[in-house]
């Protein structure tokens, strides 16, 4: 995942992020705008811009991940687990070109 300094932000916003030791987009998306303003000492407009840019970058990342998964699913490189629900959770079944580890607590 890209760091916040990789995003297209104004220099004063990047400086504020460095001073506050924020590095990754997920760090910011957990906070309300008012908290960002206080912690980063930003104006309401700068905080709003920051949230929009970060949200857009996360959206683009999710789109790329979804596209990659769609390509894998179309390629027919999955083996069924024999359980339709489990296959759905796994995005189509078990990948044939990798190792899948499924862990969890015992039910019985």
Q: How many contiguous H segments (helices) and E segments (strands) does the chain have?
A: 5, 2
Mean pLDDT, the chain, rounded, equals 82
Is the pLDDT at 17 greater than 60? The verdict is yes
Which pLDDT does position 43 carry in this prediction?
Answer: 93
Residue with tokens 């220099």: 11
Is the pLDDT at 1 greater than 60? The verdict is no
Q: Could you tell me the pTM of the whole model?
A: 0.56
37, 73 Cβ separation under 8 angstroms = no
User: pLDDT tens across 75-98, in order?
Assistant: 667 788 888 888 888 888 888 777
Which pLDDT does position 86 carry in this prediction?
Answer: 85
Question: Domains in the chain, start-ordered, CATH in brackets?
Answer: 4-75 (1.10.150), 77-108 (no CATH)
Q: If we measure between CA atoms, which residue out of 105, 73, 103, 66 comes closest to residue 87?
A: 73
């Amino acid at each position: 995942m890209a760091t916040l300094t990789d995003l297209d932000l104004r220099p004063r916003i990047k400086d504020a992020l460095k001073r506050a030791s924020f590095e990754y987009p997920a760090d910011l998306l957990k906070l309300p705008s008012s908290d960002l303003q206080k912690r980063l000492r930003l104006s309401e407009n700068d905080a709003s811009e920051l949230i929009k840019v970060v949200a857009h970058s996360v959206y683009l990342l999710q789109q790329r991940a979804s596209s990659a998964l769609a390509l894998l699913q179309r390629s027919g490189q999955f083996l069924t687990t024999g359980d339709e629900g489990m296959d759905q959770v796994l995005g189509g079944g078990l990948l044939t070109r990798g190792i899948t580890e499924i862990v969890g607590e015992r039910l019985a």
